[in-house]
Amino acid sequence: MSKEMSYRDWTEVERLLSRRSLWIIHFCTGCGAMEMPAIMTSRYDMERFGIMPMATPRQADIMLVTGYVAVKTLKRIVRVYEQMQDPKYVVAFGSCPINGGLYWDSYNTIKQLDKYIPVDIYIAGCMPRPEAIMDALLKLMDMIDRGEADGWRRYKEQFEVYKANQNRVFKRWD
């Protein structure tokens, strides 16, 4: 077996295993966190698919940004995102992280999250129903299987561009 071949096989095994144990970091911004209890508990029960809430960034795979993102929150989001280990996926949840939503002309919320950190999947709606969240998580699992959820790789490739955008809204990092 060639070296290239074995690398490809191993990536497939890795994807197969990682898509079956996705842990979500408990980082709830805005009002979307209200929909989380429904999908965590017995009604929708995301643990059927190996998805679990996790309190620390280092053990988490998915970051759900569940609502509007203020400048102050974005700084924390970037920090948490950078603390997470590869591979990591970001889900933009609701209208606000997609295009600003209700806060389209607000002076203190960033409008498009994907200008600052890479986003793998978007859930539209204000608020999205728990069914929509389950659907998005299942689609994310399929994307991981096919190797399409490559936000963490894009963040590495275009690190300078993302950092430049982040530094346009932050004055300091302390």
Partner 1 sequence: METFGIDFKELPVKGNTRKRLYGSVELDRIKEHIRKFKEVGFNHLVAISCIDWIDDGKFEVVYHLWSYEELVDIFLSVMIDRDNPSLQSVKELFPQAETYEREMHEMFGVYFDGNDRLTEFILEDWDGPPPMRKDFDTKKYAEERFYSVPPVGDVDEGV
Minimum Å gap between C-beta 67 and partner 1 is: 16
Smaller CB separation from partner 1, 95 or 109? 109
In 26-88, at which residue ranges do the beta strands (DSSP E only) sit?
52-54, 62-65, 69-70
Minimum Å gap between C-beta 61 and partner 1 is: 18
Q: Which residues contact 169 (CB under 8 A, 6 or more apart)?
A: 71, 74, 110, 116
Tokens of 5: 């071949």
Smaller CB separation from partner 1, 54 or 87? 87
Euclidean distance between CA atoms 52 and 49, whole angstroms: 9
Contact between 48 and partner 1 by CB under 8 A: the answer reads no
Q: List binders of partner 1 among 136-165 (CB under 8 A).
A: 139, 142-143, 148, 151, 154, 158, 161-162, 165
Contact 27, 56 (CB under 8 A): no
Minimum Å gap between C-beta 71 and partner 1 is: 6
Q: Which residues contact 34 (CB under 8 A, 6 or more apart)?
A: 127
Contact between 126 and partner 1 by CB under 8 A: the answer reads no
What is residue 110's three-state secondary structure?
Answer: strand
Using CB under 8 A, pick the residue from 43, 48, 58, 171 that binds partner 1: 171
Where do runs of H (alpha helix) occur along the chain?
3-18, 36-40, 71-83, 95-99, 130-146, 151-157, 159-169
From residue 58 to residue 87, the character string flagging contacts with partner 1 as x (rule: CB under 8 A) and all else as - is -------------xx--x------------
Minimum Å gap between C-beta 172 and partner 1 is: 7
Contact between 122 and partner 1 by CB under 8 A: the answer reads yes
Using CB under 8 A, pick the residue from 120, 127, 134, 141 that binds partner 1: 120
